Structure 1
Amino acid sequence: MSDIISKEFAELTPYELHAILKARCDVFVVEQNCAYTDIDGIDPICRHLFTLNDKGECTSCLRLFIKPDEPHTVQIGRVVTTERGTGLGRKLLHEGVKQARMYDGAEELYLEAQVYAIGFYAKEGFEVCSEEFLEDGIPHVKMRRKIT
């Protein structure tokens, strides 16, 4: 299984950034048939965790950042795994939770999960804290967990 790479946006090589954006586009736009703006201006303030295969293709990624309206909350977003059923997604999410602890004053984690993935996040201690809502036409819920 690939090693998880962790970098601030400015540390990403052009090839790494391209691989991350391609994986996100392949899953969120093409596979899920959802036209939305992936490049939302948040990536430059994020820590990016990702894995690459031998061809330099991104096989998993997520981003971490301080939630703009909650200075003690780290938000996890854009969680993607292209190699499903391998445990890679769980390994990546676990590392994301672990690295969220490095943010000064961080007390809680927050994410917006597609409803079908609630169980995936629950295994890492996240709990649903909202009603279902539509985001780009896909049912989502808000989830939180304390940083311990």
Structure 2
Amino acid sequence: MENIQLIVKSTNQLTPQELLQIMEERVKVFVVEQNCPYQEVDQKDQTALHVFLKNKDEFIAYSRVVWHDDQVHISFGRVLVAQKFRGQGFGRQIVSTALDQIKHFYPHQDVQIQAQTHLKKFYSSFGFQAISPSYLEDGIPHTDMLLSVD
């Protein structure tokens, strides 16, 4: 794919079309595909940094950067790759890009995430370490993971 565009915007900078595309993809993946009815759009979206990849008008991958619930660590989540583009390395690319944005906007800040437990090995490949046992979040097993900058 040659026309891949990286877009990094705060919520206030998103166009209405971009915001709708993001919400549509997030609901499609996290509510419909994962059969998990929960409040997908939340208060964190108001102050989030949205990181996404597009190919012309096609949505490829997404993640949002937010403060962790503890308000001490920065975090990212809602990592997704549109179904059509899965298996092509875009998951690794969007996580790398989110981490790059965190380094840029929040230098020297540890990153704590709530990873779906089946993705522990994937996130470990970026240097994250599990810091909790597995627990259920909205009916899906998750593990807290930390990437220390020191």
Q: Which moved more, 1:61-70 or 1:35-44?
A: 61-70
Q: Which residue of 2 is the match for residue 67 of structure 1?
A: 68
Whether the 8 Å contact between 1:74 and 1:106 is mirrored in structure 2 is no
- Letter matched to residue 66 of structure 1: W
Residues 1:50 and 1:134: Cα distance change in structure 2 (over 3 Å): same
Q: Which moved more, 1:15-24 or 1:104-113?
A: 104-113
TM-score (norm 2): 0.89
Q: Which residue of 1 is the match for residue 17 of structure 2?
A: 15
Shift, 1:105, TM fit? 5.7
Give the match's secondary structure for 1:134: strand
Residues 1:68 and 1:115: Cα distance change in structure 2 (over 3 Å): closer
TM-score (norm 1): 0.91
Match of 2:32 among 23, 26, 30: 30
Whether the 8 Å contact between 1:9 and 1:43 is mirrored in structure 2 is yes
Unaligned residue ranges in structure 1 (runs of 5+): none
Aligned alpha-carbon RMSD (Å): 1.6
Give the match's secondary structure for 1:52: strand
Task: Give 1 or 2: higher helix fraction.
Answer: 2
Q: Which residue of 2 is the match for residue 120 of structure 1?
A: 122
Q: Write the deviation string for residues 21-75 of structure 1: whole angstroms up to 9, x where unpaired.
A: 1111111111111111111111111110011233x2422111112225333x211
Q: Which residue of 2 is the match for residue 58 of structure 1?
A: 59
Q: Which residue of 2 is the match for residue 49 of structure 1?
A: 51
Within 5 A, what are the aligned runs for 1:68-83? 68-71=69-72, 73-82=73-82, 83=85
